[in-house]
Structure 1
């Protein structure tokens, strides 16, 4: 706790150094008339995938169209980027724009000095740019009615399945599971008749699994918290975890290392895999010539509508200098434009938050025709539900205790309900009053 308090004091001091008196309140200019350089902390740039190439392509296009703006892309791995932003603020190297995940939203807005776009951009100009973006996506980056994070790279959980294993198990690949009961039955059949793993969700990682887990439990009417009171061991959330445990006990749900799920699906050794749409292109490449990969919407609890939550990131502006704020906002506008989402969707695999481009021949129409696997995920956006972040200085510890408890409840030998209730009690002690 002392370490957290010291960090908050250092961040406050760093923000003060980065923003001389009055500068943060100065009006952002309407245009960039003089050369300005801004930093862009980006985790896609740190990868060895199409995400880095597509991001570099977009930044090159942006600078060509805006010759007065130089964007210094700073690649940082996703598990390190928040710490890097924190450290550079403390060191007086104020970041201008950062690609950060939604789980850090409350902390960024209340403690890290992120700018609310409504406080930075004229209302009419902001409304004009946000027009056409799906409201549920915009709501993900809002705190107290203001937009701190502008939704950027984005996905929801989708059910990948191996059509060849379905056939070998006597299942119809044209009729993928729609409910969790059907997933359990299909998983048992695949395990028993093929010797391969039946089902696994990417729901247990301490960072990337939270959104898949929340999508599952929210689809059963649960939630992880009610205000500052944790509820992940109650009601529909508890029943969802018990369902997963029952699938493990029956053999339908694989017992594999939580870090190996992608490799297991890519190699053709897993029948069904619930995970982000962002890995679709990668899985398609692995499956080519080896097995037939298909996708379906995430499973439901009976007739209850699913509530798919979001993974991915938002763009946050930290600039305090008005000229850099304008340059940063121009970058945000470009990266969330129709053209940029065409690149982001077709070359990386994230969902477009401007649905009017999907069937527009100027943008994604031709690509979608040849990549119909994106359709189930697009349909899920109509039921998009925010991935719930935790408040307070210990928010990441709270999340870790929760996820540790869920893994133990699902894979352990003890009583799932008792394990999860203890985890909730332990995590509650770390929550704000």
Structure 2
């Protein structure tokens, strides 16, 4: 879709995005918007600059009546809690850009995507991401930005270990052999396995997918203790951690941030990473490569995708105005501007095509090419937040010597089922 067409989308947003009697059509309206900061708060790269420019352009457009926009930018450490407090106090923002949407959707606090977005803009969202925003087959969460995961490896360490840096491992056996060579060469962390509380749910999901499993099945039922997942963690315990291929620290006490920093110092041979790691590695002057995640027999059939979400709340009844603003946010020019600034992946087809045409982002192309087939957290399950928290606490035990992975995963499965039943009872 061209920019002119997207401009027309914004212009017609007040009629195409929603026309119910709960909207305050006509008159001056100020939308209250709360968003997360993707830069460093108070610094030159804070997201505040992007939102200031976007709001200025939206209000100057002249086709949105008296709609004004007041944006509050908060750090990721506080934005989810702040929005939750506002909703609980009966002061929900009109729009929130946060980490999860399911609780609010299940409580009937959100407009659906079809109630907000005009048809062309809604159709422009990448289907896999649109589906990830559904609850009960209705989309409430609008993906804001996304990322996927690849295997990162240090080419210099590969060479020193006698490995061909042009041939990264494609299977678990090859991954194990490469890790053994790196260990023999004296690399501190042949393979970085962060199963500590920071983001163990992500590392676990990547391994589950590469082993043919996952958190849920194709009907969104929890399957944490599936045969595939048990085999995966048993292999990790016996063939990786048990053979000293993950470094001196316990994976269950090792966080992603530690290993990303170590990779940037040249102390890690291989690990799973997202686009941000490219910036850290480049600053550390690490010569690195990326490759698809290795799987049990060959390249993994899927990789993990992650999305952050933006949503419209019903409380203030500004459906038409919210829709017009979100149409503008998702226009190719504005959406690409944000992803370009922070080296993130677009969530629309038009902005993705623009990034694939921009050689400046050539390093992002492998991540972007996997997005359409990526698997996402089961964020549509209201129980996922509690389940994810429990995974962070205990999944690391599954790879410890003398621990039964089946028992750890079964315990997580039971907790997940209990949380899911309780969530259903509350709805």
Instruction: Kindly state the Cα deviation for residue 419 of structure 1 after the two structures are TM-superposed.
Output: 2.8
User: Residue 321 of structure 1 corresponds to which residue in structure 2?
Assistant: 316
RMSD: 3.0
Is 1:44 matched with 2:47? no
Compared CA separation, residues 38 and 60, structure 1 to 2 (3 A): same
Counterpart Cα distance in 1 of 2:42 and 2:165: 30
- State the Cα deviation string for residues 334-375 of structure 1 (Å, max 9, x = none): 332212332233221211223444554xx6623xx2442212
Matched residue SS, 1:185:
helix
Aligned pairs for 1:177-256 within 5 A = 177-202=169-194, 204=195, 206=197, 208-225=199-216, 230-245=222-237, 246-254=239-247, 255=249
User: Residue 383 of structure 1 corresponds to which residue in structure 2?
Assistant: 373
Of structures 1 and 2, the one scoring higher in RCO (CA 8 A, sep 6+) is 2
Instruction: Kindly state the Cα deviation for residue 50 of structure 1 after the two structures are TM-superposed.
Output: 8.9
Instruction: Kindly state the Cα deviation for residue 313 of structure 1 after the two structures are TM-superposed.
Output: 0.3
The 8 Å contact of residues 149 and 304 in structure 2, kept in 1 or not, is answered as: yes
Aligned with 2:111 (options 98, 112, 115): 115
Counterpart Cα distance in 1 of 2:79 and 2:54: 24
Is 1:283 matched with 2:285? no
The 8 Å contact of residues 158 and 269 in structure 2, kept in 1 or not, is answered as: yes
The 8 Å contact of residues 43 and 76 in structure 1, kept in 2 or not, is answered as: yes
Instruction: Kindly state the Cα deviation for residue 431 of structure 1 after the two structures are TM-superposed.
Output: 3.4
Q: Which runs of 5+ in 1 are unaligned?
A: 1-23
Compared CA separation, residues 430 and 138, structure 1 to 2 (3 A): closer
Instruction: Kindly state the Cα deviation for residue 247 of structure 1 after the two structures are TM-superposed.
Output: 1.1
Matched residue SS, 1:114:
coil
Deviates most, 337-346 or 264-273: 337-346
Aligned with 1:142 (options 134, 155, 165): 134
Matched residue SS, 2:146:
strand
- State the Cα deviation string for residues 179-214 of structure 1 (Å, max 9, x = none): 222222212211220332111245x35464424422
Aligned pairs for 1:272-421 within 5 A = 272-277=270-275, 279-287=276-284, 290-303=285-298, 305-322=300-317, 324-358=318-352, 360=354, 365-366=357-358, 369-389=359-379, 391-392=381-382, 395-411=384-400, 413-421=402-410
Counterpart Cα distance in 2 of 1:229 and 1:139: 16
Q: Which runs of 5+ in 2 are unaligned?
A: 1-18, 61-65, 423-427
Counterpart Cα distance in 1 of 2:56 and 2:172: 48
Instruction: Kindly state the Cα deviation for residue 217 of structure 1 after the two structures are TM-superposed.
Output: 0.9
Counterpart Cα distance in 1 of 2:387 and 2:72: 29
Compared CA separation, residues 334 and 381, structure 1 to 2 (3 A): same
Matched residue SS, 2:376:
coil
User: Residue 425 of structure 2 corresponds to which residue in structure 1?
Assistant: none
Instruction: Kindly state the Cα deviation for residue 55 of structure 1 after the two structures are TM-superposed.
Output: 5.4
Counterpart Cα distance in 2 of 1:375 and 1:395: 30
Compared CA separation, residues 51 and 318, structure 1 to 2 (3 A): farther
The 8 Å contact of residues 58 and 328 in structure 2, kept in 1 or not, is answered as: no
